[in-house]
Homo-oligomer: A and B are copies of this chain.
Amino acid sequence: MNDEGGEENSPQNLVALELGCSVCSACENNLCSVPANRVLSAVSGVSTVVSQTSHAVKARRLILHNGDTQNSVPVICSGWAASMKLLPDGRRQILSFLLPGDIASAGLLFTPKPGLVVEAITDVHYRAFKYQEMKAMLLSKPGVLDKLLNDCIAAQSRADRLIVDLGRRSGEERIARLILNLAQRLKVRGMMRGPDQMDFPLRQHHIADATGLTQVHVSKVISDFRRSRLVEFHQRSVTIIDLEGLRRRADVRSCARAREIFYARSAA
């Protein structure tokens, strides 16, 4: 685990940090000790602060190793990260992208997850909370627990959606859905650059590892999206030009077999 403390104070990083905090579950639950939260806990009269460490890591570095004993739980303050699993032969599958405010995995609060790796996509600031303290504290505060449980359940339903995507949708659909999904998540956080534009620090291999495809194939599909004037990529950002068109690619499938099954079932 990285041993560096300290916040940077270049303007945009502070902004990102605040953005993260404003939607951060650790913050909402008064677990965090960044200034804004200190104020907040003072106001709400709750002063519980779980011991924690603050870290900065460069892009492409690991936040959570595989070999780690994992006695702490990272919460992203700024930047993008990915939580993934690695197969022994080098194949990798991204389980989810972590945006500011996201807890690496709510389940981690209760059990370490062997085989889980979290990697920074951009430069990332995160806080690591001690796992046992956190747990003890949670069990004493029903309100907090409830919120964590919701996190857990939300994670589960995101996982379910991903399972359906990977099992039953074409590459094109998966990529379109990924883009729409990220736009949605950023919108909730107020992190869109404009109505249709967002930061997009993902490399094509991230998209590949998230959608179960190859980087080469991702390139081809995205080129097609671009040619069809659905989206536009400028340096590390995406603009959705034709939302409806993109949605259509995300959902529609003119598949003879699907139709056949459909008719079979509605007849029954």
Q: Which residues of A does B touch, CB under 8 Å?
A: 85, 87-93, 95, 105, 107, 110-111, 113, 116, 139, 142, 149-150, 152-153, 155-157, 159-160, 162-164, 166-169, 209, 211-212, 214, 251, 253, 255, 257-262, 265
Contact = CB atoms under 8 A, between A and B. Distances in A.
Nearest to A162: B163
- Chain A interface mostly: helix
Nearest to A85: B164
Instruction: Report how many copies the assembly holds.
Output: 2
B168 A113 contact: no
By CB atoms of chain B within 10 A, which of A87, A156, A167, A209 has the most? A167
A113 B157 contact: yes
A116 B156 CA distance: 12
A168 B92 CA distance: 7
Nearest to A212: B167
Contact of A110 (B91, B142, B149, B260): B149
A50 to B, nearest CB: 18
